[in-house]
Structure 1
Amino acid sequence: MSMVALCPLPAGSRILRAEPGADFSDSYRFASIEPEASVLAQFLALSARTPAWMDFLMALRNQAVRWVGLKNLGAMAVGDPHKLASSYLPGDRVGIFTLQFADFNEVILEDRDKHLHVQVSLFRLGQDELQISTVVHIHNRLGRVYMSVVGPVHGLIVPMMLRRLGHVH
């Protein structure tokens, strides 16, 4: 089983800029699945391994939130599995997120809606280790209600999905 460790946001990462005033943040360290690849390429590889039950949960989420005027994010997995990481530009959609920043060692993706702003970073810690971090800024009461449900689930699902990477090829 892959080792996954809850830890502080990584020193030297751009996601640290988003942390001041955040209402939620977490970060997990885990073994890289493609150590020679860019971090965006590794994020795409992780996305391609999204389990069907996660896309089912996203579909339930999308159905539930339409009643309160939130946007449908679609599925976790990236739409075109053949698109090269090097062809993505800031502003492009990457699964449920929009690419905000990417270099060889870090990618920052985000989603903005009326209730909250979510940023996710995948950061290279070393040759064989990555760290995925989430920072959320809540905008209103709807965001607080949303995160009261999603926050605890997020803390269960993310480590479970990262541990599963060691078993899926």
Structure 2
Amino acid sequence: MTPTAQIFPDPESALAGAQFADRYVLTTDGLALTAIGAAERILGRSPRWVGRLTQLRNLAVRPFGLKAGAEPDAPPETRIGIFPLISQAQGRAVLGLDDRHLDFRILVEVNDLGAGRQQVAVSTIVKTHNLLGRTYLAVIMPFHRIIVPAMLAQVLIK
């Protein structure tokens, strides 16, 4: 199965004042994932090329004092990969970070479709605060549209 892009229906419900939201969806068969399990498969590991792009991003934003993810000494149970875990509920994990240029949320949702099939969705919601945030979002958007589906496809890799 290939991830498909969708419009996120109500960004305000996930992050008040959000100016950007997208959603990618994948249907699985026979995995019986929880939202945290799906988030770990999606965000807890990444293809090598994504890791290299992340390193490049971190070098590029260091002069601006932007955050590079969860605090390095954050306990493992408070993050998945580099992303701080904000909340979790039945079928949904919310990760994200608030920074001086923008706030973002990543929603990982798992819905049971019956007959062993599940729909796994990853939504990204962003609220920019200033020109730096709007510029940053514009620069990373082409990469985002390639990276998110690639990360979501990892759900299928055991």
TM-score tier by shorter-chain length is 0.7 to 0.9
The amino acid that maps onto 1:8 is I
Q: Please tell me whether the aligned partners of residues 10 and 16 of structure 1 are also in contact (alpha carbons under 8 angstroms).
A: no
Q: Measure, in 2, the Cα distance between the counterparts of 1:115 and 1:23.
A: 13
Higher strand share: 2
Quote the Cα distance in structure 2 between the aligned partners of 1:162 and 1:68: 29
Query: Can you give the 5+ residue segments of structure 1 that lack an aligned partner in the other structure?
Result: none
The answer to whether residue 97 in structure 2 is matched with residue 98 in structure 1 is: no
Change (3 A) 1:70 1:34: farther
Q: Residues of 1 paired with 2:88 and 2:111: CA distance? A: 15
- Of the three residues 58, 61, 67, the one matched with 2:63 is 67
Report the alpha carbon displacement of residue 37 of structure 1 after superposing the two structures with TM: 2.9
Displacement after TM superposition at 1:159 (Å): 1.8
What code does the residue aligned with 1:70 have? L
Amino acid at match of 1:129: Q
Q: Does 1:162 align with 2:119?
A: no
C-alpha deviation, 1:148, in angstroms: 0.8
Aligned length in residues: 151
What's the RMSD between the two structures over aligned residues? 2.6
Partner of 1:144: 134
Instruction: Tell me, yes or no, if the aligned pair for 2:21 and 2:125 is still in contact at 8 Å.
Output: yes
Partner SS, residue 50 of structure 2: helix
* Residue 121 (structure 1) aligned to one of 98, 107, 110: 107
Cα deviation, 1:68-116, whole Å, max 9, x if unaligned, reads 1112337xxxx99xx7xxxx3xxx2222221111123000001111000
Q: 2-side partners of 1:61 and 1:114: how far apart? A: 16
Aligned partner of 1:134 in structure 2 is 124
1:153 to 117, 125, 143: 143
Render the CA deviation track for 1:100-133: whole Å, top value 9, x for unaligned: 1112300000111100001000112324111110
Q: Does 1:9 align with 2:4?
A: no
User: In the aligned structure 2, how far is the partner of 1:109 from the partner of 1:31?
Assistant: 21
**CA–CA separation in structure 2 for the residues paired with 1:44 and 1:132:** 12
**Hey, what's the Cα distance between the residues in 2 that align with 1:142 and 1:21?**
17
Say whether 1:26 aligns with 2:22. Answer: yes
Give the match's secondary structure for 1:160: helix
Work out whether residues 122 and 152 of structure 2, in 8 Å CA contact, stay in contact via their aligned partners in 1.
no
SS of corresponding position for 1:22: coil
In structure 2, the CA distance between the partners of 1:10 and 1:32, relative to structure 1 (3 Å rule), is farther
**Aligned residue type for 2:95:** L
